[in-house]
Amino acid sequence: MKPLMWAICMIDFENDRRVIIVKSGIEANVLSAVHISKFNESTSKVVEINGYKIEFSPEYPILYFEDQELGSKWIVDYVTDLLNIDVRGLAIGRSSAWTVDWINKRQEKPLNRFALFKPTSNNSNADESMDYVLKNVRSSDFIGINEDVSDNYRFNGKLGPVKELAISRNGYWVTCDNLMNFDAIAIYIGRSRLTVSILNLFLRHWRAGGSPRLEYLEVFFENGTVFENTFDGDLEIVRTNEVGTYPVSYGEPVVIRNCYRVQRTDGIMALVDCDRQRFYMIVQHEKASH
């Protein structure tokens, strides 16, 4: 019987190459691929199968490869073929951008979760790797980006659809055009260089029917921003004593009070709150005017 409750996740970050099974929120390592240079000849629990050295450690088997990319592919193919299920999660570093295209070609279904992490030492090719990942990744539930790119980096594509997009630590590269082209239900942007004037442009885009799936937007400003409790007049934003609540994935629900209300042309309302450190937007899809 096909193990529908199991999810296979691939990790390919620097020297950490593993396949993980997740079931009911519990993770278990299944296989690991390690470069042959790490092989210890004195290890007694080693066998050789089809030319590959396999160490049966107490935690999980470790396979040694000369070609690290081949090793990553081999352990993923082995586990997914054995269980007859697709890869559902992918966590990679900058040098492993190749995995995105490889996953897209080997399975029809998109990932459930994807994460890109900045390297611990290598600072080269950041812009190229980021651009390739953003333009090619397919993930239905979550995309997390934690990567340092240059100040000149610009992303000119579309991203999504996805339920949650988190650029939580290094979002200084995100522009208003990017926000408009992010197809997500919840968006988190950290270390943002957006200003309230730029966010007015996004609100104008939203009022006209843009970003129709958006339910929550959270922007934390990198250096603080000037907010004078005013928005552009054409946005028709008004003060309200309504309370907005959104169940964020990272902790307690976000609650905003003494905020502002803005209405889309189709009657959908949103509550907006802004100060020097942050900007919140909670869309009230259930409160459309008729």
pLDDT tens-digit readout, 74-115: 999 999 999 999 999 999 999 999 999 999 999 999 999 999
- In the chain, pLDDT over 90 holds for what percent of residues? 71
pTM (predicted TM-score):
0.92
Q: Is residue 52 part of a domain?
A: no
Do 35 and 15 contact (CB within 8 A), yes or no? yes
pLDDT attached to residue 4: 60
Q: Which domain holds residue 122?
A: 6-16+87-287
pLDDT tens digits for range 176-234: 999 999 999 999 999 999 988 899 999 999 999 999 999 999 999 988 765 555 788 89
Q: Is residue 273 part of a domain?
A: yes
Q: Is residue 205 part of a domain?
A: yes
* Amino acid (1-letter code) at residue 185: I
pLDDT attached to residue 41: 66
Six-digit token pair at 200?
A: 């007015």
Domain count, the chain: 1
Q: Is residue 68 part of a domain?
A: no
Q: What φ, ψ does residue 116 adopt, rounded to 5°?
A: -115, 125
pLDDT attached to residue 105: 97
Q: Is residue 26 part of a domain?
A: no
pLDDT tens digits for range 104-147: 999 999 999 999 999 887 667 899 999 999 999 999 999 999 99
How do strand 238-240 and strand 259-263 relate by DSSP bridges? antiparallel
- Cβ neighbors of 86 (< 8 A, separation 6 or more) are 8, 80, 107, 109
